[in-house]
Amino acid sequence: MNESSARAAGFEYAEEIRRMHAKVKDLYGVRSWIYWMDLALSAGAGWGALYWAMSFDAFATGQVLLVAFAGAALYRALSFTHELAHLRRGALPGFRAGWNLLAGIPLLAPHFTYRGIHNLHHQHHAYATDLDAEYLPLAEGPPARIASLFAVVPLIAVILALRFGVLAPLGALHPALRAWILRRCSTLGMRIGYARALPQGAERAAAAAEEAGCCLFVWCTAALLAAGVLPWRGMCLWWAAWTAIGALNALRGIGATHRYRGTGGRMTLPEQLDDSVNVDSNALLTVVLCPVGLRWHALHHLFPALPYHALGTAHRRIMADLPDGGFYRETLVPSVWAGFAGVWREARANAQAKRAAASASLYKEARDVPAPESSV
């Protein structure tokens, strides 16, 4: 593409975004009652189902179904941490504390482990680079990297229990150790060993309170188990629900967010949106896999301050107004499965291409090695 064509494409792109913004500019109001009702119903249904599951024999059909339902409901409740990362300070008083009490602390995923991390994912200079904890170049292959994200799912609950039950009190012994724990062991994301910025100001106090709450939860749970007040069956069901949450999140994170074609360098806004997807489906499974508006991920990257309850309306308005060839339509995938399959196919194809290139290089090197001279 020559310079004049690039400028024309950039102008069309900017013009399309302006048209889209005009369609959604009245949707930024936060309806607090929707947030509170949705959170309360999701958390209540999830914890209630988990408690009910304790009355069944191990692995009974009713117990399995209740744990699956609990996982889906608690996954929806936990997903409000994403909304908290985007809400303006003071927009929803008390919601962070309420969310932590209902979901963040009892699931050992307090909001400070996500705050500041997700915001970098939306910054143009950080997206898809080493600064982005929520992104890996999955489409580059091999597919085993994708599989590894599912392989660790059963370990997540155990790792979180160790993080807050063991590392949190150890961090109180020395400021340097606590700083290391906060930087290296306090991030919800894809990148292992990610070094985050330390919380500052009011956020530092909030992180300390949330960490203390999780530590108290772990030790109180351990004491109740030791005393026989809480049956081990309950602990096992909590782990099973967390495993369901982790599996749902891994599937959604790969199939309903991005195409993961970034290779570590900075990407322009058009490139970022070309790398993002919207799941164009209202199926029940899509709603379960992508709660709290997460199926409209590309739209969210365009207008990150839109509250989740407005994203569906915004998407419908934009689709009704845009031309057939608009870039926004290119973000659509028909289902989470289709999005996942697309990333998997690209990862497999790129891995095969790399192996073929490596084999060709080795063959060329072997062919170019001169034959040894005869001693006769």
Please report whether residue 214 resides in a domain. yes
User: Tell me, what's the pLDDT at 9?
Assistant: 52
Tens digits of residue pLDDT in 310-359 = 999 999 999 998 877 778 999 999 999 999 999 999 999 999 999 998 88
Q: What is the dihedral of CA 339, 344, 345, 349, to 10 degrees?
A: 150
User: Tell me, what's the pLDDT at 16?
Assistant: 86
Q: Assess contact for 298 and 277: CB atoms under 8 A.
A: yes
Q: Work out the pLDDT band at 14, boundaries 50, 70, 90.
A: confident
Ramachandran assignment for 187, one of left (phi > 0), alpha (psi -120 to 50 degrees), beta (any other) = beta
Please report whether residue 57 resides in a domain. yes
pLDDT at 158 over 50: yes
Tens digits of residue pLDDT in 78-134 = 999 999 999 998 999 999 999 999 999 999 999 999 999 999 999 989 999 999 999
pLDDT at 365 over 80: no
pLDDT at 4 over 70: no
**What token pair was written down for 88?**
């303006």
Please report whether residue 310 resides in a domain. yes
User: Tell me, what's the pLDDT at 1?
Assistant: 45
Tens digits of residue pLDDT in 59-72 = 999 999 999 999 99
Whole-number mean pLDDT of the chain? 93
Please report whether residue 302 resides in a domain. yes
Please report whether residue 337 resides in a domain. no
Please report whether residue 329 resides in a domain. no
User: Tell me, what's the pLDDT at 10?
Assistant: 58
Domain count, the chain: 1
User: Tell me, what's the pLDDT at 358?
Assistant: 84
pLDDT at 293 over 90: yes
**Phi and psi for 333 in degrees, rounded to 5?**
-125, 150
Tens digits of residue pLDDT in 20-55 = 999 999 999 999 999 999 999 999 999 999 999 999
Q: How far is CA 215 from CA 165, 166, 210, 242, in A?
A: 5, 8, 9, 17
- Poorest-confidence range of 132-141, 250-259, 266-275? 266-275
Please report whether residue 292 resides in a domain. yes
Please report whether residue 148 resides in a domain. yes
Tens digits of residue pLDDT in 181-223 = 999 999 999 998 899 999 999 999 999 999 999 999 999 999 9
Domain that holds residue 223: 3-321
User: Tell me, what's the pLDDT at 15?
Assistant: 85
Q: How far is CA 49 from CA 55, 78, 286, 307, in A?
A: 10, 16, 21, 28
Helices (H), 256-307: 269-274, 284-289, 297-302
Q: How far apart are CA 27 and CA 247, in angstroms?
A: 32
Sequence-distant (≥ 6) Cβ neighbours of residue 230 within 8 angstroms: 221, 224
User: Tell me, what's the pLDDT at 6?
Assistant: 43
User: Tell me, what's the pLDDT at 359?
Assistant: 80
The alpha carbon of residue 329 and the mean position of all alpha carbons in its chain are separated, in whole angstroms, by 23
Q: Work out the pLDDT band at 12, boundaries 50, 70, 90.
A: confident
The model's pTM is 0.93
